Every structure is written in structure tokens, then in C-alpha cells.
Chain A
Amino acid sequence: MAKLSLMFEDKLVKEVPIGSRPVGIGRSPDNDLPVDNLAVSNYHARVYFEAGRLVVEDLDSLNGTFVNDLRVERATLHDGDSIWVGKHHIKVDASGDAMVSWDSGRKASAPRINETMVLDTKQRRDMLQQAAAMGERSQFAAGRLKMPTLVVLEGKTDQKEYVLTNKLTVIGKSGMATVRLKGWFKPQLAAQINQRDDGYYLGPGHKVPTVNGTPIPGPVRLNDGDVIEVCRVRLNFVFRD
């Protein structure tokens, strides 16, 4: 599996494998590779597989992203490359990617779709590439890493805004809730948000919330800009850069 190693001078700070999701690099601690340096932007760059290539993309950072010595906006990465952000650099190890293939000992045959199968690295890239070509430009390739955020418009809560970093977000009075409601007669679990493959879904808890004024009796996918209301608290769901 390909991996990225965050280095400061010759010290290894952190190592992450590059999987199916982009690897975020930046000063904000919710990045996969957080870089604690003022020269680095909060969301500085990201690295991901696209159409079978490993790509680094600068996210309009203030001081730029460099591959080896060149400043880049987007660049294909190769095994042994170094990505520089501020005084840190990230070593690219793509050597492990040429792995033993799943079906290497057999004759190639058309996939029998009813039978579960696992793709090897090359098949996986080819298929995702084909799929990407069919699907036009996907949101995945559309530039920035957007953070889903709840901004409190009205009502008593423990914070003014919440970045949704977990798969489960609970809105309620409970001490374990992410969005903690304050005041008398508020339920422990008022409503909840579940991150799924295609987005964020708001569902009821012990109350039925509304989205843009419409009551939500079952899970509904949230769109950028939606206004959620539950227990006299109004929250604006937005994707932030």
C-alpha cells in the first residue's frame, strides 16, 4: 500500500497509508497529516488516487506546496518524491503498490458478478478510471476539501459552531452530545446526524426536527445551506472551505 511519511528534517513525525479517501495535509488538527507550523495553512494540500495516478493538490495555500523543488498546484507523484510544505516535507512511498495481485495465478476471466470478488490494485484503478470517465467531473475532483459545519443561528448551545468530524453527531442535552443544548426541558437526544457514503443525514431523536421548515420524521440528506430547527435551536448546515 502506498504511504506518506511526514518528516521534519530527518525525523519521522507521522506515517499514513493512502487509501480510498484523500489524505489531508495542513495545520488544522483534523488533517490526516497535521503539520504544526505557522507557515502551513489550515487545509494546505491533499493527496489522493485519481484515475490510477497519485496526485497532490495544493488547496490555495498561502505559502505553496512544492514537489521536490517545484511549486505546484496539482502534480502527479512518483515513488521517492518529496512534497514540501513550510519546513516539513512528506516522503512519497508508492513502491508497495505493485503488490501481488489477487488473481495472479489464474487465467484472466470475466468477473462473475454474483460471486463476490476483490480487485487487485491495477484492476481497481482501471475500474475507477472508467467509472470516473463515465461520471464526468465528480465532486471529489472539484477542488477543495469542504468541512461540514453547523453554525448556531439561534438558541442556547455550548458552542457557536461545530465542525462535523464524526460519523455520528448527537444534538441534545446529554453530556455526551456533540451539540449540547442548554436549558430546562430539553431532551437528552433531540436529533442526530449520520455521515454516510453520499452525505450527511439528519434524523429524529426524541424530537422531530425540521429542515427549512419541513418536519423530518425519518433520515433526510442535508444540503449546503439547510437550516435545521429542533428544540428552539436553529442551526445552519454549511460546507466550509
Chain B
Amino acid sequence: MQIASGGVTNVGRVRTNNEDCFRILEANNLFVLSDGMGGEAHGEVASALAVETVVKHCLAPEDKDATLIFADIPPTWSAKTRVLANAVHLANKNIYESAQAHPEQHGMGATLTALWIDERRFSLAHVGDSRAYLLRGGTLQQLTGDHSLVAEQVRRGILTLAEAERSEMQSVLLRALGAHPEIEVDAEEHTLFDRDILLLCSDGLTRMVTEPEIAGTLQAEPDPVRAANRLVELANEQGGADNITVVVIRVGFESTDWFSWLRRSGRNKTRANGSAGGE
């Protein structure tokens, strides 16, 4: 199996600070993205803490944390999915406790979308309104459901998708890390197919760029870093109202000319870290 990936984060054209954060661990096939919220610089604190916690827990899961999930874990879940879901519970706990301990951080929170590939399967854990997409056979498919008020209204048949996209209430979230001591985490597993392309992104991309544009860019640009950069450019060309973070992951199982070409061109270009304030 071959994986090529790349990520970019950008402040956008309206905001002065970047509260998004992402991390790519190529050696572990782990990809984590978070969009922070909260006054002053606390959104940055929250998203960085979320990403750090998830990465740390996935690389070295502590046994004592395995009991964090109070709901039943489906017996079909892999060990990686359990660890990933636990990591997100832990990130929630850490942000919540940090905000409790530091009154100036009150109200900070973060979204989190994390993806972990294990051969032919991948695990996904998600809270908030960042998104994961899958481009397979030319069709872009959404893997996560936004935990926003408007998305919930769409699920309940109160709003249409088009109404939700025009709504003034799009920024109202029903779930985010750090808001409550406990949280419900969406976790799931899917099978990978040859040439699948996975995308993680913050809402700064999806509010600005349409899904056909996203699908077209991912298909037109085989290099993950360049594809991620192009998507950020598109979001900025269309207003760049929020921070934009994009992680693109291409998967290949059958050795093909397509992939060997990609690996040559993609070498030395992959940035593995991105966070508010830079590193």
C-alpha cells in the first residue's frame, strides 16, 4: 500500500489569527485536523491541545484511558478505532479541564476530525463542523455529518440543504470539544479502495468552495500538497472569510505508473505540521 499526503493551513483573507491546526504523521498514517473557537487567542490553544492530545494518545495509548468511553463499543470496531475514539474523548476532557482551570479560557472549544489508515481499512472520529470527504471513482462523498444546528435541522427535515447553506445560523454548533465534561464522538470504519482520495478540511474551505470544485481540483491535481494549496487558493479567491485548512491523502494499492510518478513528484514537498502561530 502506498500513501501520499499533504496539508496546508491558511489564515484566510478576513481574520487576523489562525485558530486551525493540523498534524500529519505519515509514518503512522494518522491525520488530525482541528478548528478552534473562543475569544483572544484561546481558539488556537484549544485546537492545538486537541490535536496534541489525539496524536499523543494514538501513538501511546495509556491503558487507563481505555475505559473512557461509557457507551458500548461495537464488537466489530478495530483496536485503532477504539483508540482514536478514546483519544477524542480525552481531548475533550483536556480542553474542558483547561478552560475550568483558567477562567480567561472560558468558552474555548474546538472541532476535531481525525483519520487513521490501517491497510485496507480506515478509522474516522469526528466532533464539530470540520469535514472528511472521500473521492472515489470520481464521486465526492461526505463521510462526516456536521454537528451544527442547521445540519441537524436538515437531518430532521426542517431545512433543505440549500436553505442550510444560506442560513445565518451556520456557525452555531451543537457539539464541540471542550463545551461539556463528556461528549458524544462519531466514530466509524470504512474500507479503502485503490486510488481513493481522502480529504480533511475546516469549514473555511467548505463555506467558500463548492463540492464540484473540490472534486474537480482533487482530480486535476495528483500531487497532494499542490491539491491542498489549490483548494486554499480557491477559498481565498472566493472571499477567504475564515481560516482554511486542508489535508489531502491519496491511497494506492496496485503499483501503477500513476503512483510511481506521484511519489517522485511529491517527494520533499510534504509539510507535516501546521498550526496557528506556526512552529
Contact = CB atoms under 8 A, between A and B. Distances in A.
A189 B196 CA distance: 11
Contacts of B138: 204-205
Interface string A92-120: 00001001101101100001011111111
Task: State the majority secondary structure of interface residues on B.
Answer: loop
A80 interface: no
A176 B137 contact: no
B271 to A, nearest CB: 25
B174 A20 contact: yes
A176 B191 CA distance: 7
Given A168-B190, A196-B142, A102 B107 contact: yes
B186 to A, nearest CB: 9
B70 A15 contact: yes
Sorting the interface of chain B by its residue count into under 10, 10 to 19, 20 to 34 or 35 or more gives 35 or more
Interface in B54-93: 70-72
B154 A197 contact: yes
Interface in A89-147: 96, 99-100, 102-103, 105-106, 111, 113-120, 124, 127-128, 131-132, 134-135, 138-140
Interface in B165-197: 168-176, 179-184, 188, 190-191, 193
A119 B171 contact: no
Contacts of B157: 135, 138-140, 198
Given A106-B106, A131-B153, A205-B137, A197 B146 contact: yes
A11 interface: no
A47 interface: no
Interface string A11-52: 000111101110000000000000000000000000000000
A192 B141 contact: yes
Interface residues of A, number: 55
Contacts of A131: 149, 153, 158-159
Residue of B134, B156, B179, B193 ringed by the most chain A CB atoms within 10 A: B156
B252 interface: no
A113 B72 contact: no
B155 interface: yes
A1 B71 CA distance: 11
Interface of A: 1, 3, 14-17, 19-21, 96, 99-100, 102-103, 105-106, 111, 113-120, 124, 127-128, 131-132, 134-135, 138-140, 166-168, 170, 174, 176, 188-189, 192, 194, 196-198, 201, 203-206, 218-219
14 contacts: A1-B182, A3-B70, A20-B174, A114-B171, A115-B37, A119-B149, A131-B159, A166-B190, A170-B136, A194-B139, A194-B141, A197-B154, A203-B139, A204-B138
Given A113-B169, A201-B141, 13 more contacts: A1-B183, A113-B172, A131-B153, A135-B159, A138-B156, A139-B157, A167-B190, A168-B143, A170-B193, A176-B120, A188-B193, A197-B151, A219-B140
Interface of B: 35, 37, 70-72, 103, 106-107, 109, 120, 129, 134, 136-143, 145-147, 149, 151-161, 168-176, 179-184, 188, 190-191, 193, 212
